[in-house]
Amino acid sequence: MTDVDREEVVRRLGEEGFVVLDVRSLREYRGEAVAPCDPRPGRIPGALHLDVQELLGLAPASVLARLGPPEASELVTYCHSGSRSELAAQVLGSLGYRARNYRGSWHEWSRDESLPAATGPDAEFTNS
């Protein structure tokens, strides 16, 4: 598994089959909670949400129901600093998904004011 850098995420954002998966808590995803070291709250626009803690408790069939078949997309996971997302990418990879980690994650993304950020609920989020 190789990591994804910010430039690749920016370049491929919105590309068919390129799925950005936010594995932070729902409050972090919505921008209701932010680490003191981050200049702004939110998420990468278009990112789907599946908390890594929830992922760890799901059966493979439930992951398939939530994310679709592994061959349908390339998943890029991110969190605050790249640790939770690394674990999520490993778990998803073990289930057959092409999953890679954005190591810079929100900690890096939130520092670049030229990059978009979304807050609030999102119609695309996968967590119920």
Tens of pLDDT, residue by residue over 46-96, are 999 999 999 999 999 999 999 999 999 999 999 999 999 999 999 999 999
pLDDT tens digit string along 95-124?
999 999 999 999 999 999 999 999 998 744
Domain-by-domain residue ranges, the chain? 3-109
- The pLDDT value recorded for residue 2 is 85
* Contact of 101 with 93, CB cutoff 8 Å: no
Residue 126 reports pLDDT greater than 80: no
- The pLDDT value recorded for residue 1 is 73
CA 49 to chain centre: 6
Quick one: what percent of the chain has pLDDT higher than 70? 95
Q: pTM for this one?
A: 0.93
Cα–Cα distances (Å) from 51 to 28, 29, 78, 111, 121, in that order, read 10, 9, 10, 23, 14
Strand order in the sheet with 3-4: 3-4, 98-102, 74-78, 18-22, 48-49
What would be the CATH architecture of the domain defined by 3-109?
Answer: 3-Layer(aba) Sandwich (3.40)
Average pLDDT, the chain: 93
Maximum Cα–Cα distance for the chain, whole Å? 39
Strands 48-49 and 18-22: parallel
* Structure confidence at residue 128 as a pLDDT band (50, 70, 90): very low
